[in-house]
Amino acid sequence: MNIVQTSTFSRTVKKLHKNQKQDLDKAVRALVENPNIGEPKVGDLSGISVYKFKMVKQLTLLAYHYEDETLTLSLLALGSHENFYRDLKKSS
């Protein structure tokens, strides 16, 4: 499976601490094993799914898009719930 990161996602990951990156790696592994565990969005964000997980005891949202034909997992955005969907709409 190919895993692609957007520039927004990679900039956010650069700012994370080591223990936060470990939690993120676990979440990405879970998505690779089962890309359908995230909640699919509708409306303006259709085609995008959001996976919620704990990163150092804080709820974190990971937006992604999965293409079944090419087996590509695109990691779009990462962050807390505050303004997450608004910023995701602007970037997509």
Per residue in 12-70, pLDDT (tens digit) is 999 999 999 999 999 999 999 999 999 999 999 999 999 999 999 999 999 999 999 99
What distance in Å separates the CA atoms of residue 28 and residue 34, rounded to the nearest whole number? 10
One-letter identity of residue 51: Y
Residue 51 region by backbone torsions, left for phi larger than 0, else alpha for psi between -120 and 50, else beta? beta
Query: What is this structure's pTM?
Result: 0.94
Phi, psi of 26 (to 5 degrees): -65, -40
- Which distant-in-sequence residues (6+ apart) come within 8 Å of 41 by Cβ? 47, 48, 49, 50
